[in-house]
Chain A
């Protein structure tokens, strides 16, 4: 007859595993888990823990370094991206085209207004001279 030597600690672990497995299969386990989660959500202790974790993350140089590394990686990827370059070039081109068109329209309108102004002025100046010569004729002056 062979004897198997079983460590007492190992037996306890196996027992606990099977017990937990069985417990999880029952409806009781669902209710227990639900209640635990519910009480955790309602407890102020959880809030404090979360706040503490977040503040410790904020102050952590390791997190900073991680974020920096990720940002550098993303930025390097963006800088090297041909698609992004093309997009920027296209948008800048479209904007410059728009500005150029606006300036052209403004210049044209200004030019038309100035031409109109000049033409009115010329005509009125001619009228000035005509009125003056008429007055001189009437008064018999040269």
Chain B
């Protein structure tokens, strides 16, 4: 059986699914915090009380609450991806597409590799998509961030990605 790598469309669709999940998570967090502020703490974000006394929690919370949404938009995707890549090798979107992230030697992705890949993804985004298009011409369908982090995206045709027990097994393409 030949090893198949995830192509551009698969990765794109997996990303779309993940973004939808993340949007729900961010919106859910925002809604819960909003309800907590209104119903429990009785804070009206539109009319924060003016005070210079820093130890009074309500005005400070009132001023901080509008920032939780943007903060979640930045923090959630990073934690979500780092967590899934290191713990399982796939995000829910990747799982749907049968994708699994491994190092080029076939071993599982550690936290350091995941962090490097995350930073590299930012760099790829700065190339306005050119970094992603490398997937189309790369022999192992690696995007720019995959090349930087030394990772590949394996793809299986079966309904479920390869079992976790096989995660640490050396990849046939190791050293290629």
Chain A interface (Cβ < 8 Å from any Cβ of B): 114, 117-118, 120-122, 124-125, 127-129, 131-132, 135-136, 139, 141
The one of A117, A129, A139 in contact with B96, judged by C-beta atoms closer than 8 angstroms, is A117
B97, B136, B137: the one contacting A121 at CB < 8 Å is: B97
Q: How far is the CB of A138 from chain B (nearest CB, A)?
A: 9
Q: Are A127 and B157 in contact (CB under 8 A)?
A: no
Q: Across the interface, name the chain B residue whose C-beta is closest to A131.
A: B8
A125 and B137 contact, CB distance less than 8 A: no
Q: Is the CB of A141 within 8 A of B9?
A: no
- Cβ of A131 and Cβ of B136 under 8 Å apart? yes
| Total contacts A-B at CB 8 Å | 48
Q: Which of B4, B9, B96, B159 makes the CB contact (< 8 A) with A127?
A: B9
A128 touches B137 (CB 8 A): no
| Residues of B that sit less than 8 Å from A by CB | 4, 6-10, 13, 96-98, 133, 136-137, 141, 155, 157, 159
Q: Which residue of A lies closest to B156 (CB)?
A: A121
Is the Cβ of A124 less than 8 Å from the Cβ of B9?
A: yes
Give chain B residues whose Cβ lies under 8 Å from the Cβ of A118. Answer: 157, 159
Q: Which residues of A contact B10 (CB under 8 A)?
A: 121, 124-125, 128
Residues of chain A lying within 8 A (CB to CB) of residue B97: 120-121, 124
Tell me if B96 and A128 are in contact (CB < 8 A): no
Complex Cα distance A111/B98, Å? 17
